[in-house]
Amino acid sequence: MDHRQQFEQLSRLLIDHKAYWQFVPFAEMALPWQGELAQWLAALSDEQVTVLRQDAQATQIELAKILPVVEELEALSKLTPSAASPMTYPSRLDWQIPGRKWQQITQFNEALTERQTPWLEWCAGKGHLGRALAATSNQGVTSLEWQGKLCQHGQELATRFDLEMTFVEGDAFAPDAANHLCRHQHAVALHACGDLHVTLMRHGVRAQTEHLSISPCCYHLIQAECYQPISSLGQQYDLNLSKLDLKLPLQETVTAPNHVQVMRQLELSFRLGFDVWQRSQQLSDDYMPVPNVPKSLLKQGFEAFCQWALEKKGLSAPLTGLDEALRQGKQRVQLVERMELVRQPFRRPLELWLVLDRACYLEEQGYDVRLSTFCDRDITPRNILIQASRR
């Protein structure tokens, strides 16, 4: 099927089954479902939940026995791997680049099918991707980056390897960023977050840029309060996605080391324990979210976390009954983990819905679009590649 048909079918399934994914588990005090699904979740041990949370395929198999839509979503969400062309890179070109990041860069580069036009590297950082492009093609690279120090460092690295690269210090959100796009060009963005890659697409469309290759990331980092579909078809099937909904595709822990997962569990128990405590103090009857927490604060204990949270919310109350609140918070973590199991099979379909909205937009603007995966998900779960060429 074409992208429009795929998008329409995916939209209908997501809309019809939003009760299983479009809610905030933190705000729930009990499972929001009854019947066989609730019974299955209640029967799981904490150890089984941990295993299933880290094994998406096993979770899908189990949930499909209760929710047949899981198999439909999985079938609709499959993408073909890119036809990669292995390349040779200069020695030490990967200097100071972590191994997994270098794998992402090289496999993104090797998946690009159009290589006969000058490159524009959007949100370039130190130009790691740009160096790979310059070293494996006969085309120059313009690298746009807003931090001057990164531009300087990137230019030094390009000079060291005698690569044809020019760094431009500039804000991708500034109106004059559009001036860096032109017709005879291939604009690329590897993991440019949220509005950053959407802005590139809009500028590219206006400039009639010949080729655009984008791997989206961090869909929730948008300036609007909620997601605004960019294709006309997306506007017809608007899912009314909040920023919390947009975080759902990013909740995989495929690449997270054990200590990161341990800290995640600790933070969850503190957040939910604080919510239990603030309700007991009658500060609010609803779940009280708090901002991103410095990881160092978690090591100071639950009381320090609660004091910090109160200050962030501009509230005050005596810090009593914290032990019981934390105990209940840990119990609610178990509840949240079970709800997240049900949401898990909807992560990739929702991400693909967002990607298809971008693909349909580009097709509506006169581009031929190919969607694929440029690497395995154990290298990065954000492995979708949009390649668009102007018709």
CA neighbours within 13 Å on the CB side: how many for 314?
0
Quick check: 217 pLDDT over 90? Answer: yes
Residues contacting 347, CB < 8 A, separation 6+: 248, 249, 251, 252
Whose CA is closest to 190, among 181, 176, 200, 175?
A: 200
Mean pLDDT value across residues 378-382: 94
To which residue do tokens 């995966």 refer?
A: 373
Quick check: 255 pLDDT over 80? Answer: no
Write out the two tokens for 369.
């679009």
Classify 99-244+348-390 by CATH class: alpha beta
What share of the chain has pLDDT > 90, as a percent?
91
Mean pLDDT value across residues 229-241: 98
- The pTM of this model reads 0.93
The count of other CB atoms within 10 Å of the CB of residue 320 is: 11
Mean pLDDT value across residues 319-343: 96
What local confidence, expressed as pLDDT, does residue 1 receive? Answer: 85
Distance (Å) of CA 149 to CA 134, 180, 245: 21, 20, 35
Mean pLDDT value across residues 341-357: 97
| pLDDT tens for each residue of 135-150 | 999 999 999 999 999 9
| pLDDT tens for each residue of 44-54 | 999 999 899 88
Quick check: 262 pLDDT over 90? Answer: no
Indicate the domain borders of the chain: 7-62+256-344, 99-244+348-390
What local confidence, expressed as pLDDT, does residue 367 receive? Answer: 98
| pLDDT tens for each residue of 301-326 | 999 999 999 999 999 999 999 999 99
| pLDDT tens for each residue of 162-214 | 999 999 999 999 999 999 999 999 999 999 999 999 999 999 999 999 999 99
pLDDT band with cut points at 50, 70 and 90 for residue 254: low
pLDDT band with cut points at 50, 70 and 90 for residue 256: low
Quick check: 259 pLDDT over 90? Answer: no
Expressed in angstroms, the distance from the first to the final Cα of the chain is 20
Quick check: 101 pLDDT over 90? Answer: yes
What share of the chain has pLDDT > 70, as a percent?
99
Alpha-carbon span 330 to 336, nearest angstrom: 10
pLDDT band with cut points at 50, 70 and 90 for residue 258: confident
To which residue do tokens 């991103």 refer?
A: 292
Query: Residue 388's beta-bridge partner residues?
Result: 212, 369
Quick check: 257 pLDDT over 80? Answer: no
Residues contacting 389, CB < 8 A, separation 6+: 114, 210, 211, 367, 368
Mean pLDDT value across residues 233-249: 97
